[in-house]
């Protein structure tokens, strides 16, 4: 007698839509005017985690569209120039997508180094666009105040990759 094989199907709802909605919710939550020990809450760019993890999980046509929408949300929510964060997020997504064949099966430290490089690239691109648009360079300390919390989100990106990579046996 043959045993039934259980196929765990992970659709775009689980690995694209729910994380995108969570990123929006946490971004709004961290923007509340609450001071802890005299400091404001950090405002990391949560969609960078998704722009890094999604091409490593599985290339998708839906992911760039969702990243574009998340970037527009960040621009409207933070009052930045339209197109700043969509361009930065899609640049990270594209760079990681191009390198994804070389990153398959790499150690976590290699993924962390690439996460640091891609986050630095996204913030450098955003910094340069803001400088050219406004005509004045943003404060480096303010940018670092956003870069550091974003870098500290790497365990979330690693968890997403570990959770959803090879989760659907149809793609093995």
For the chain, the domains span: 12-171
Q: Report pLDDT for 169.
A: 45
Q: Which residue has the tokens 């659709």?
A: 11
150 burial (CB, 10 Å; 0-12 / 13-18 / 19+) is buried
Q: What is the mean pLDDT of each run of 10 residues along the chain (172 residues)?
A: 61 86 96 85 94 90 95 94 95 94 87 96 96 91 94 95 67 45
Q: Report pLDDT for 49.
A: 96
What's the topology of domain 12-171?
Arp2/3 complex 21 kDa subunit ARPC3 (1.10.1760)
Q: Report pLDDT for 3.
A: 67
């Amino acid at each position: 007698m043959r045993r039934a094989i259980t196929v765990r199907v992970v659709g775009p709802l689980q690995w694209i839509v729910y994380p995108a909605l969570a990123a929006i919710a946490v971004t709004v939550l961290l923007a509340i005017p609450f001071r802890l020990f005299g400091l404001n809450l950090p405002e990391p760019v949560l969609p960078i985690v998704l722009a890094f993890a999604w091409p490593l999980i599985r290339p998708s046509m839906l992911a760039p569209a969702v990243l574009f929408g998340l970037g527009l949300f960040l621009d409207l929510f933070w009052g930045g120039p339209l197109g700043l964060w969509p361009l930065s997020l899609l640049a990270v997504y594209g760079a990681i997508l191009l390198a994804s064949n070389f990153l398959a099966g790499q150690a976590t430290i290699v993924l962390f180094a690439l996460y640091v490089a891609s986050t630095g690239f996204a913030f450098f691109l955003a910094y340069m666009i803001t400088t050219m648009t406004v005509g004045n360079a943003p404060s480096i300390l303010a940018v670092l105040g956003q870069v550091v919390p974003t870098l500290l989100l790497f365990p979330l990106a690693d968890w997403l990759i570990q959770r959803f990579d090879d989760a659907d046996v149809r793609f093995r």
